Amino acid sequence: AAAAAAAAAAAENSDDDEDDDMPLRARKTAKPLPPPPPAGAAGAAADAPRRRGRPPLSANRNPPAAKQSEPAPAAPITEAKTWQGAALVVHNNLMRLPHAEIFNSPVDLEGYPDYGAVVAQPMDFGTVRTMLAAERYVQPQDYINDVNLVFSNSLAYNTGRNPEMIPLTLGMREKFNAMIAPVVQNPLPSAIPFAGRERIDDELHRALMLLHQALLEFPAAEIFSEPLTVETAGAVYFDFIAHPMDLQTVLDNLANGHYETLQAYVDDTMLVFENAQAFNDPNSEIHNNALVLRLKFEADIFYLTGLTCRTRQLKDILTPSALFSDDEVKASNIAAFQPDKALKLHGRLMQQTSADAVQHHPNRVAACRAVMHPMTFDAIRRRLLAGHYSTLDQYIDDIRLVLANDRLLQPDLEWTPQSPGSRLALWFTLEINREGSRRKR
């Protein structure tokens, strides 16, 4: 009976790990037995008591919010239909290994303030699992690279600081290489149906037609669905925009076989949104609709083909007569940016009641699938403190990205006046305009 109860408990823990809608660290699990320490001095250091007010000797990450369950028996990968599904089974088993809890959560950057100076791109098993469950990896090597990034970050930071972490990290990497080998050696189809396809054949053509027609059906796309004329846009539009484009023209070109390659179709569709963003005021509804639709299109194309959309520079969008010199633009933007005031403004923004709801969504996998360019107010604050921004436009663009990402997760990409994102966007626009008027006075 005791053995049956233990097996049932292990099965329940395994089922919990497959629930992608619930954050891994928030699940309630039984308190595990302490994992066996590494042999030798490293094990003694790992078991050393923690001193109040200083980080643990072997820590290189933020302690998980919930205790990890004991490692469950390895799950089979034979039933997986895609390589992403097989890799997800491997990754769940990786996160259950002894000592894996060290790597399962992001590093606490406040507890380890020097971590960012050593590690340029933080990564952890929990983030990789969300990306894998959301099918954000096109090829197996993309997934493997991110897992290896966790190990290389640990080696880079702990060398000379926490020597007991080195053999532990190397041992975990060796186990991962053995676990992932069957997935690499016996490749399954990708969950991304046209991954690696460059030329538009009949099958891809039908899929792109459906994708583009669905894009046109969104209410926010209406203004981009017809060619602009001097009567509808004004002569000044054609003085500024070098290559006008609209969604209906792209659809006609696609239907008539004008595009031979996927990249040519993607470039023309992206041009519709890039033109709108370049010409219209950043606070306008047209500009914001263009940003949201562009981000949605990038996600749709990625999950159909695995292609990452490229964006043009202003010099490739505007006519030569509409371009200022780079020195003029840079000097103007730098003069208008005051980091201390931006930090105070950002502090007020983060105190708004709707700010937390905008940047944190309960379904991590769904958010990962919809959002190709993640950004949070917390990350923006860290960037401000680190002196990442040299112009006010850079800071505002990141704020708009947070708001656009929030809108991507709403039905039909629409905000209601009462939605947290809508209220926060209005508040931020008013504050930016108020700061601008103060500078003018």
| Matching residue, tokens 């007020």 | 348
Listed residue (107, 27, 23, 125) closest to 67, CA to CA: 27
SS (H, E, C) 364-421: HHHHHHHCCCCCCHHHHHHHHHCCCCCCHHHHHHHHHHHHHHHHHCCHHHCCCCCCHH
Q: What is the pLDDT of residue 360?
A: 84
CB of 60 within 8 A of CB of 158? Answer: yes
> So what's the pLDDT on residue 362?
84
List per-residue pLDDT tens for the chain, 441 residues long.
444 444 444 444 444 444 444 333 333 333 343 443 333 333 333 333 333 233 333 444 443 433 444 444 445 667 899 999 999 999 999 999 999 999 999 999 888 989 989 999 999 999 999 999 999 999 999 999 999 999 999 999 999 999 999 999 999 999 999 999 999 999 899 999 999 999 999 999 999 999 999 999 998 999 999 999 999 999 999 999 999 999 999 999 999 999 999 999 999 999 999 999 999 988 889 999 999 999 999 999 999 999 999 988 888 898 887 765 555 555 555 556 788 999 999 999 999 999 998 988 888 999 999 999 999 999 999 899 988 998 888 999 999 999 999 999 988 888 888 899 999 999 998 998 887 654 443
The pLDDT value recorded for residue 315 is 82
Rounded to the nearest 10°, the torsion over CA 369, 173, 23, 304 is 10
- Give a three-class secondary structure readout of 72-111: CCCCCCCCCCCHHHHHHHHHHHHHCCCCHHHCCCCCCCCC
Question: How many Cα atoms are found within 13 Å in the side-chain-facing hemisphere of 216?
Answer: 16
Q: Pull the structure tokens for residue 170.
A: 């190397």
Residue spans of beta strands (DSSP E) within 36-186: none
Provide the token pair at 347: 């502090």
